Structures are given as C-alpha cells and as structure tokens.
Amino acid sequence: MADSSRSQNPHAAVRNGIEVQVFEEIFFTSQDNLTLYARDYGTHHTDALPIVCLHGFSHNSEDFHELALHLSQARRVIVPDLRGRGRSEYAQDKSTYTAFHEMLDVLDLLLIAGVHQAVILGTSRGGIIAMLMAAFRPTMLKAVILNDIGPAIEHKGLLRLSGQLNTLPKPDDWNHAREILSMAHGHALPGLSDDAWQGMAKRRFKETNRGLVVDYDPALAKTFSAEVGKAQVNPKTYWPLFTAITAFPGLLIFGELSELLSSKTAKEMAKRHKDLEVFTVKNRGHAPLLNEPGVVKAIDTLIVKAERA
C-alpha cells in the first residue's frame, strides 16, 4: 500500500488583497517505491465534486495552475506530476513509463487523498490515463474531459512529438529556452505572446548546476520513440477504452489545428458517445492551453452537469 505525507510549506496567492493558501504539496510512495508528487488545491470541506487534472507526456502539474486556481474556488483540485516528470522521482525501471503504470499511481494518489469520485481532466497522455481509469475503476469517475486526445491518434503527430522530444537543444538561458519552444510549437500555438512562451519555458525547463535542463527524465524521449516505432508497424487504437467513458458525461476539447487528433476521429467520438460535448478551439493545435476563450466556461458547464447527474 502506498503511504503519504503532506508538506508543511503550503503555497499561497493573493485573492482580493488577502494572502490565501492555494495548494498544498502531497508526497506519496508508489507501489514500486517511487516518491511521487502532487498538488492539492482548494478546500477539503465541501461537497462539491473534486477535479483531477492529468498532464501530457513530457509536461507536469504546472500546466494546470491557472485553471486549478479558478476551479479550486469552489472545489478540490488534485494535480499530480506523473512519474519521471516535475518533482516526481525518475523511475529506475524505464519500462514502467507506461500509461498503465501511471494510472496505478493516480489511483494510489486518490486513495491517499480520500477522493472517491471525481471529474477527470486529461491532456494528451493524461486523457489516455483517464480512459484507462474508466475501464479499470469506473466507480471513481463522474465525468471525463479529454483535451485534444482520442482513441485514434494520428501517426504524423506522434512522429512530430517524438522528433521534438529527441532533438530539443539545451538552452543557454531563459530567453533561449523561450525561443526553442516557440520554434518547436509555434505551428500549434500561433499568436502566443513572448510572455506566454516565457511562462511555458519556466514549466518545461529547470535550473541545475549544469544549467537549464528539461524538467523530466530524458529516458522518456527514448520510451516515446519506441512507442511510436511500434505504432508505425502495428497501429494501435483505444476505441475499447473509449467505450468505457461513454457511461459518463464527457467533454472533448479539440484543437482545430491538431496533428494528433483528426476531425474525423472527433466526429466519430461524438457519434459513439451521445453525452459528449465537443468544443473546438480555433487557431490551436496540440494541445490547447485551456486558457483560450470559452474553454473554462465549457469545463465549468461539464462539471455542473456531472454534479447534477
């Protein structure tokens, strides 16, 4: 059984001129003895439905900070760093960098946190974990939000992501880090300001005695390349897993320019899931940042629907 401890150094922000705690840190031990990290936003003393936010393949909990600040005004929001990312320990056994192992970690975290039912919001890899949770632990879900991910993934998009992970240069400084990301992802996030790219750089890189490095286990890039290679030989889909989420209210956030999720797949998802709302984010590829116009309102609406259900 996993164990846990809660940090005594809560993080705070100013709301209405008053400094308030916005999240606590949870450190817990996985079933294979890794020390993993999560943020716990909001109050425990509410009957409102909790939200669990799961990030993309090489990202971390920082991706959801602004959204979590909004959602946690009314409810609890749990946001982990998946194994090998952010402040979670890197796995000794690199073969455990799979969506299945990551799902087991999330289930352990929710058990520790005392969360018995929640809305699961998953970006990219996080959405695959959400579908796995629906299949393996359906009683834990009340609704599912998929951010630019579906049961069929375009191989062209996988190849681009694999290339980005394996060829990302080491930044000389924070300005260089910003330029690297804008060059790599500008096609998917057109019109993003320099400040926004700088904020993304702060989420993707960390300072060490070796300078700036990516904030994830570099072995993940090789793991991802191996997965992409297998998918090219034997294309893999997650339609059986997607069937599991049709039991719950759903929201698909679809990047209009996405190379990972096709409009054909998005339409088929809506056809197979009669209670799935599809929100198309204009001028965005993989993956929408969740701060685009209308996205937060769509998320809020889905949560209210899940609570009424």
Q: What is the pLDDT of residues 25-68, one digit of tens each?
A: 999 999 999 999 999 999 888 999 999 999 999 999 999 999 99
> What pLDDT score does 76 carry?
97
**Is residue 248 one of the residues assigned to a domain?**
yes
pLDDT digits (tens, 9 = 90+) for 120-164: 999 999 999 999 999 999 999 999 999 999 999 999 999 999 999
Domain count, the chain: 1
In a domain, 70, yes or no: yes
Question: What gap in Å lies between CA 50 and CA 70, rounded to an integer?
Answer: 13
- Residue 2 has a pLDDT of 53
- Supply the pLDDT for residue 141: 98
Structural domain of 249: 4-155+237-308
Q: Please tell me the pTM assigned to this model.
A: 0.94
Confidence class for position 237, pLDDT limits 50, 70, 90: confident
Q: What is the pLDDT of residue 9?
A: 45
pLDDT at res. 16: 60
Q: Residue 109: pLDDT band by 50, 70, 90 thresholds?
A: very high
What is the per-residue pLDDT for 236? 76
pLDDT (0 to 100) of residue 22: 87
The pLDDT of residue 7: 42
DSSP result, the chain = ---EEE-S--EEEEETTEEEEEEEEEEEE-TTS-EEEEEEES-SS--SPPEEEE--TT--GGGGHHHHHHHTTTS-EEEEEPTTBTTSPPPSSGGG-SHHHHHHHHHHHHHHHT--SEEEEEETHHHHHHHHHHHH-GGGEEEEEEES--SB--HHHHHHHHHHHHHPPPPSSHHHHHHHHHHHHTTTSTT--HHHHHHHHHHHEEEETTEEEESB-THHHHHHHHHHHHHHHS--B-HHHHHHHTTS-EEEEEETT-SSS-HHHHHHHHHH-TTEEEEEETT--SS--S-STTHHHHHHHHHHHHHH-
Q: Considering the domain boundaries, does residue 144 fall inside one?
A: yes
Domain assignment of residue 182, yes or no? no
Does residue 1 have a pLDDT over 50? no
Mean pLDDT score of the chain: 93
* CATH, residue 97: 3.40.50.1820
In a domain, 295, yes or no: yes
Confidence of residue 17 (pLDDT cuts 50, 70, 90): low
* The pLDDT of residue 13: 58
**What number is the average pLDDT over the span 256-285?**
98
pLDDT band of residue 19 (cuts 50, 70, 90) is low
Residue 45 lies in a domain: yes
Average pLDDT over residues 224-238: 81
| 178 occurs within a structural domain | no
| Predicted confidence band of residue 200 (pLDDT cuts 50, 70, 90) | very high
What mean pLDDT do residues 223-234 have? 82
Question: Once rounded to an integer, what is the mean pLDDT over residues 267-296?
Answer: 98
